[in-house]
Structures are given as C-alpha cells and as structure tokens.
Amino acid sequence: MDSVAGLFLRELMFQYRGLGPSDSVPEACYALAERLDLPVGVHVGLGPPGAAYLATPRYRASLSNPLLLEETLIRHPKLRLYVMHAGWPMLDEMLALLYGHPQVYVDLGVISWILPRKEFHRYLRRLVEAGFGLRVMFGSDQMLWPQGLRIAIQAVETADFLTPAQKRDIFYNNAARFLRIPRHTNPLAFTWLLCQRPNPRMQPTGRRGRGIPLGRHPPSPRCGT
C-alpha cells in the first residue's frame, strides 16, 4: 500500500473507445485499482459536440449512463471510484447510482465551465438537495485553457443555494476525504495551481497560429486579481 500512496487513475476514457465498464480492458483496470487501492476517475458523460464524427469515432453517448457502472461496483466493492463530469446530463441515473452505492463520488469536471451557468447550477443544486453534497468534488477538466479554472471556480462561488461550508466541501474537503489526504495537509499548498495567470502558449490557437480571443472573465474570489 505504501508504494502506491498518492497515486490514482485518472482519467479513464473508455467511453471514447466505445467500451462499456464490463468490457475486458476496463474490467482489468478496475480489478487492478481495487487490488492496489487506487482511486479511479471515470469519464462518464459529454464529449466534444459531434465527437463520434471527429477524432473519436467510437464515442457513444449511450455509454453516458452512470448506471452502467453498477455491475462493476458490485464486482469490486472496495473500488474507490468517482464519476467525472457528474454524469451530465443523466441526472436521475446519477442520483440512483449515488444512492445505491455510498462509496461513489462525482467531480464537476467540464460542466463547471462549459455549460450555461443556469444549467450547471440546476444540476449541482439537484445533487446537493438530494443529499449528496458531501460526495461532490470540484473539477474543471481543464488542460489547455487556464482561464477555464477561473470560470469553474466562479461557477461554484456564485451558487447562492450553497452555504460557505458546502462550497468548502466541494472545493477541498470532499476530495481530501476521497483521496485520503492527511488532515494536517495545508490546502493552501495547492492553490497556486489555480491562481497562476494564463500562459498564452497554452491557449488554443487558430489555423494561422494566432491566439483565439478568449475574452475577459472576473478573477476568482479565491485567487485575487
């Protein structure tokens, strides 16, 4: 156990390969993760619009159903699994999975900044009001556009249906519990990752190599100006 402390499997993107949780390759990964006690993040839900017609022809929206993970969870009861993007848009199925399997968490992933704010808040509010606020973790799925982190943070901060304590749970406490981060760890040690100014070299570029105008967004209350 000590040799794998601090490691986790993220992001398992079998949906883009057209593979369900019970297929042989995903099943082998889940079995290994359970044996090594590794937390696992699984892509469940939306991809780029028209994903099946672009670079991932095997992507299927039908594999977005979180309940497809149920047999995997039964076979591997000690598996520490979180559903990325909170299974959007299949809210009822996500709630059913969370209710039936108390070990499952979700992260907010890309829906925290790519969805219209009203839709994101509607989805998040249902998760919290259904009683699962302690199993929702912050996420942004951000790899290329650092400003997306600011938008994602602001999306949670502006959710007026959340208390300050609930926001802190989403931003830190829930993930600390799921990942078993030692209680003495200072969460401020990680905030520099969220507060760096955008690197222009990491922003998307057009065909001629020019940066795509990203617009200006208010800074996160947690990151300052």
Read off the CATH number of the domain in which 76 is found: 3.20.20.140
Rounded to whole angstroms, what are the CA distances from 190 to 185, 186, 196?
Answer: 10, 8, 11
List the structure tokens of 40. Answer: 């696992």
- 207 is a domain residue: no
Cβ contacts of 28-33, under 8 Å, gap ≥ 24: 30/72, 30/75, 30/76, 30/79, 30/81, 31/76, 33/9, 33/76, 33/79, 33/80
- 223 is a domain residue: no
Range of the domain at 187: 2-202
pTM of the model: 0.79
List the structure tokens of 159. Answer: 């959710």
Position 224 scores a pLDDT of 40
Position 146 scores a pLDDT of 82
Q: How far is it, in rounded angstroms, from Cα 85 to Cα 45?
A: 7
- 187 is a domain residue: yes
For the chain, the domain total comes to 1
Position 20 scores a pLDDT of 84
- 50 is a domain residue: yes
Q: Could you report the per-residue pLDDT of 6-50, keeping only the tens digit for each? A: 455 567 888 888 888 888 888 999 999 999 999 999 999 888 889
- 211 is a domain residue: no
Position 141 scores a pLDDT of 87
Please count the other Cβ atoms lying within 10 Å of the Cβ belonging to residue 160: 8
Beta bridge partners of 105: 82
Low-confidence residues of the chain: pLDDT under 50: 1-6, 191-225
- 221 is a domain residue: no
- 220 is a domain residue: no
Position 13 scores a pLDDT of 84
Write the burial class of residue 10 (CB in 10 Å: 0-12 exposed, 13-18 middle, 19+ buried): middle
Position 9 scores a pLDDT of 57
